[in-house]
């Protein structure tokens, strides 16, 4: 009867191969083909189960499925797909060289899988959000059906609400200039007629209100600013916390003599309060969406009346995009 034909082992066992072969000879057993391979490491990431257990036990993370953790449950909760994970591992292949990989390629692979299937939504950051009056818009709010994804009609349509008063991100409002023509995405062009700023000298640059003239005959190809917005009426604005994360440690590679506690990142969780379009109320736990111009998110907790939705930002491989 044939025994084991191949043994796949990490390279830290290589020094024991002579002892292993001696025992097989002494027992007159078949020698398997030993295939050594190196462990795959990632920058600013601990893979030691002993060290990760300390993070869990100390409450530094939420648990073994924490989206900052390099566990399968952790990266899946962050938004990694099985298909992308399989592709990434197969492309790396077995190697005897110890490598310290960057997370950017890992998440860039994932983006290829989520971009075609992630329905598009809109979110506006609540902090200092600006209310803009849109002259030329209908007095009564109304909705129109628009595709959930411009390149994937199979995802269906969503309701986009329009009104004469809209919400705009403070960062967008600060970038406008007097009489500039901008594009309101999913609507058309508008001209910035009035920009009101804070009277507080400490916040003089903060925009407090806007007046826009709708200019639908304008060419969207000629505008530099193409912004997202939300109608303040005609829909229920859905409260959502957009959560991003940083690496748990600050050093690319910890040496044996390093104490992990000396290299902990002071703050690794960043929450931004926002409101999303009314369609977001139907999104379920675990779904992946794109908030246009803000990124891809996995919904960790769907919206329920009385509870805010929680969405985790999915890295896309860009520099400084987290692990």
* Token couple for 178: 């007097």
Q: Which residues contact 105 (CB under 8 A, 6 or more apart)?
A: 88, 317
Residue of 310, 323, 317, 318 lying closest to 271 (CA atoms): 310
- pLDDT (average), residues 283-306: 96
Residue, of 96 and 155, whose pLDDT is higher? 155
- What whole-number percentage of the chain has pLDDT above 70? 98
Q: What is the DSSP letter of 116?
A: T
Please write the tens of the pLDDT for every residue from 180-208.
Answer: 999 999 999 999 999 999 999 988 899 99
- pLDDT (average), residues 102-120: 96
Tokens 């072969």: give the residue: 21
Q: Which domains does the chain have, with CATH numbers?
A: 1-37 (no CATH), 120-323 (2.40.240.10)
Q: Any idea which of 10-14, 150-154, 163-167, 260-264 has the lowest mean pLDDT?
A: 10-14
317 has a pLDDT exceeding 90: no
Q: What is the DSSP letter of 263?
A: G
Count of C-beta atoms within a 10 Å radius of residue 316: 18
Q: Which residues of 225-244 are buried (b: 16+ CB within 10 A; e: fewer)?
A: eebbbbbbebbebbebebbb
Cβ atoms of residues 152 and 116 within 8 Å: yes
Sign of dihedral through CA atoms 47, 50, 53, 57?
A: negative
Give SS3 for 80: coil
Task: Give the pLDDT confidence score for residue 323 in this predicted structure.
Answer: 46
Residue of 249, 273, 252 lying closest to 263 (CA atoms): 249
């Amino acid at each position: 009867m044939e025994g084991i034909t191949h043994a796949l082992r990490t390279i830290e066992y290589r020094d024991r191969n002579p002892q292993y072969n001696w025992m097989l000879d002494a027992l007159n057993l078949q020698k398997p083909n030993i295939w050594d391979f190196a462990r795959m490491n990632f920058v600013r990431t601990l893979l030691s189960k002993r060290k990760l257990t300390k993070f869990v036990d100390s409450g530094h993370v939420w648990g073994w499925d924490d989206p900052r953790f390099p566990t399968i449950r952790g990266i899946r909760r962050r938004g990694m797909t099985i298909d992308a994970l399989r592709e990434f591992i197969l492309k790396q292949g077995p190697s005897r060289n110890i490598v310290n990989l960057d997370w950017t390629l890992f998440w860039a692979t994932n983006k290829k899988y989520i971009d075609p299937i992630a329905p598009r939504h809109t979110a506006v950051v609540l902090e200092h959000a600006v209310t803009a009056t849109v002259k030329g818009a209908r007095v009564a709010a109304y909705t129109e059906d628009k595709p959930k994804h411009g390149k994937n009609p199979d995802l269906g349509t969503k309701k986009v609400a329009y009104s004469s008063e809209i919400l705009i991100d403070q960062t967008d409002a600060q970038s406008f200039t007097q009489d500039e023509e901008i594009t309101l995405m999913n609507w058309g062009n508008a001209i910035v007629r009035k920009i009101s700023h804070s009277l507080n000298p400490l916040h003089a640059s903060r925009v407090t209100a806007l007046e826009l003239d709708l200019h639908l005959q304008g060419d969207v190809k000629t505008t530099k600013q193409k912004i997202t917005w939300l109608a303040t009426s005609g829909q229920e604005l859905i409260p959502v916390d957009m959560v991003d994360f940083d690496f748990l440690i600050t050093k690319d590679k910890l040496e044996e003599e390093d104490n992990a506690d000396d290299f902990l990142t002071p703050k690794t969780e960043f929450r931004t309060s926002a409101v999303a379009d009314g369609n977001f109320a139907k999104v379920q736990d675990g779904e992946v969406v794109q908030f246009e111009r803000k990124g891809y998110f996995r919904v960790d907790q769907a919206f329920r009346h009385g509870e805010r939705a929680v969405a985790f930002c999915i890295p896309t491989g860009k520099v400084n995009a987290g692990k």
